[in-house]
Amino acid sequence: MKRRCSTQLFICALAGALVFTVILSMSSGQYDIPMETVIASFAHAADLPILPNVVPTPEQEAVLWHIRLPRTLVGMMVGAGLGISGAVLQGIFSNPLADPGIIGVSSGASVGAVLAIGLGVTAANVLSLPAFAFAGSILAVSLTVSLSMRHGRIPVMTLLLSGVVVGMFLAACTAAILTVMNEQKMQQYLFWTIGGLDYRRWDHVLLGIGPIGIGASVMVLLARHLNLLAFGEVEARAAGMPVTAFRLLFLVLASLTTAAGVCISGNIGFVGLVVPHMMRLIVGPDHRRLLPASLLAGAVFLVLCDSVGRILLPGMEIRVGIMTAFIGTPYFLYLLRRHMQMDG
C-alpha cells in the first residue's frame, strides 16, 4: 500500500514536470517568449481568468500556436511512444539493454526515408517521407517476426538474432541507395536520420496521434499480461496464457507506436533504452506502474532535451537526436558495464 501511494505521487510529479517542460518548450527558441505570456495565451484560449493583464501580441500568438505547439506535441508523442515501447520490449526480452530499434524499426524507417528522398517524392508532399518511413518500419518488423517464428512460436533469442540480421541487411540497402544519390539528397537524408523536432507542423501531429495514442493505450491496459510474459515463457504457459499470441500482440503494438514516432521525427536514439530503465529503478518492475511512468517520463525527457538544445547555444539549435545521444551514450555504457558485472 505504501509503495502504491509513493508510485502514484511520483506519477503525479511526472505529470507536473511534463506541464513545466511544455511551458519551457513553448517559451524557448530564437524568438524568446516569457513563460507568463505562454500561460496567458493558453488561459485566454480556454477562457480562464488567469493573467488577464498579460496580452500576447499577434506575432507571439502565431509563433506559439503554429510553430512551437505542434513541435512540442510531436516531442511529447514521440517521447511517450518510445518510452513505453522500450519498457514493453525490455519486458518481452527480459533484458534491460533492449530498445525499439532491436526489432528493425529504425533500419526499416531509414530505408523508407532514403527511398522517398531518392525518388524525389518529398518535394510533392511534406508527409511523403514520414509515410515511406512508416511503411519501411512495418515491413522490417514483419520480416523480423516472420524469420523468427517457428511452428507457431516466437523464441526470444531467435527474434533477437533475426532483428540483428534484418537490421544489417537494411543498413546495407540504405548504403547502396545512398551511393547513387546526389549530394543534396544525401544531406537531406542526413538531416532526417539525426532526428529532430524542427519544422514539425499540425500535419505531423495528426499523422502520429492515432497510432501512438492507440498503441500506448492498449499496452497500458494489457500491462498485467506483460507481467506474466516477463516471468518467463514456462511460467506464463503454466498460468494458462497464450504466450505466442500475446508476445506477437505486444510486438505489433510496440512496433506500430515506435514506427509512428520515428516517421515524424527521424531516428532519435536512447529514449527507449534510458527512460524505461530509470523508471524501473524508481517504480519497480511491475508493468502496471512501469508503463505509465515510462510514457510520461519519455515525454518529459524528449521535450526537455529539445528545449535545452534550443537554449544551450544562443543563436543556434542542437537537434534533439544529438542531445539524447549525448545523455544516452554514457548511461548505456553504465548499463552495459553493470550488466557485465552481474553476469560475472
- Is 150 strand, coil or helix? strand
Domain CATH code at residue 141: 1.10.3470.10
In-domain check, residue 2: no
The alpha-helical segments, DSSP class H, found in the chain are 2-27, 35-45, 58-63, 69-93, 105-119, 128-148, 156-178, 183-194, 202-221, 223-231, 233-238, 243-265, 271-283, 287-311, 320-343
Looking at the domain assignment, is residue 255 inside a domain? Answer: yes
pLDDT over 70 at 2, yes or no: no
Q: Return the pLDDT at 223.
A: 92
Range of lowest pLDDT (225-229, 287-291, 312-316): 312-316
- List, in order, residues 6 or more apart from 335 with CB less than 8 Å away: 96, 97, 273, 277
CA distance 41 to 24: 14
Total structural domains within the chain? 1
Q: For the beta carbon of residue 33, count every other beta carbon within 10 angstroms.
A: 20
Q: What percent of the chain has pLDDT over 70?
A: 95
Q: Is residue 319 part of a domain?
A: no
Nearest to 30 by CA among 312, 303, 265: 312
DSSP 153: B
Separation CA 108–CA 148 (nearest Å): 17
Cα separation, 170 vs 176, whole angstroms: 10
Q: And the C-alpha cell for 284? A: 519497480
Mean pLDDT of the chain: 86
pLDDT at 221: 95
Residue 201 placed within a domain: yes
pLDDT at 4: 65
Q: Is residue 75 part of a domain?
A: yes
Where does the pLDDT of residue 343 fall: very low under 50, low under 70, confident under 90, or very high at 90 and above? low
Q: Which cell numbers hold the place of 241?
A: 496464457
- Domain enclosing residue 217, as ranges: 57-285
Integer Cα distance of 264 and 137 in angstroms: 12
Residue 331 lies in a domain: no
Structural domain contains residue 107: yes
pLDDT class for 339, splitting at 50, 70, 90? low
- Can you give the pLDDT at residue 64? 93
Is residue 148 scored above 60 in pLDDT? Answer: yes
Please say whether the dihedral angle defined by the alpha carbons of residues 64, 68, 70 and 75, taken in this order, is positive or negative: negative
pLDDT at residue number 123? 66
Q: How confident is the model at residue 78 (pLDDT cuts 50, 70, 90)?
A: very high
pLDDT reading at 328 higher than 80: no
- Residue 295 resides in a domain: no
pLDDT tens-digit readout, 81-133: 999 999 998 888 877 777 777 888 888 888 888 888 888 777 667 678 788 88
> Does residue 1 surpass a pLDDT of 60?
no
Q: The dihedral of CA 323, 77, 137, 86: what is its sign?
A: positive
Q: Is 267 left (phi over 0), alpha (psi -120 to 50) or beta?
A: beta
Place 79 in a pLDDT band, splitting at 50, 70 and 90: very high
pLDDT digits (tens, 9 = 90+) for 225-269: 998 888 777 777 887 788 888 888 998 898 889 888 888 888 888
Look at residue 75 in the predicted model and tell me its pLDDT: 95
